[in-house]
Amino acid sequence: TKRFLAIPQAYLGIAFGFGIPMGFTAQLGTYPPVGWWLLAANIFWAIAYDTEYAMVDRNDDIRIGIKTSAITFGRFDVAAVVISYAVMLAILVYVGVDRAFGWAYYAGLVAAAGTMVYHYFLIRGRERMPCFKAFLHNNWTGACIFAGILGHYALKGAWPRW
């Protein structure tokens, strides 16, 4: 997609996130609306973290003529990362409200938001190594979200059947 599409990071999010509809369908035999919200959150997350990576390779990508979100967003690349993270978090808050998740879930989201703020401070200068560090640090973002989900169900004493 880097040869033909302006923001291949969105297609990466679709590809990486397609386990969401597959998992729901395999477990439930149907695909509930919450699944679409989770897929959308995953796409925005991929745009955010992979734009951080694309900021590392921007000069090389321009030289060899491929497209990335960092090139497409141009001087608004940092804003695009922050907005993508914000949309992802907003969707996850909506899902939490819709599913009546408890405080542990939201604590995980707050911790994840903290990692995203840290990423902003890393990428705002658009320097290669700090941008790469932000990209790599996304495993902690995911760990915070996972810990919130795990904490919610552990405290509730039940695991979901959505």
* Beta-carbon contacts of residue 114 (< 8 Å; ≥ 6 apart): 144
Rg (CA), the chain: 17
Give the pLDDT score at 47: 94
**Of the candidates 50, 47, 132, 123, the residue with the CA atom closest to the CA atom of residue 91:** 47
- pLDDT given for residue 158 in this prediction: 72
Consecutive sets of 10 residues in the chain, 162 residues long: mean pLDDT of each? Answer: 81 91 93 96 96 93 91 94 98 97 97 98 97 97 97 82 58
This prediction has a pTM of: 0.91
pLDDT of residue 20: 95
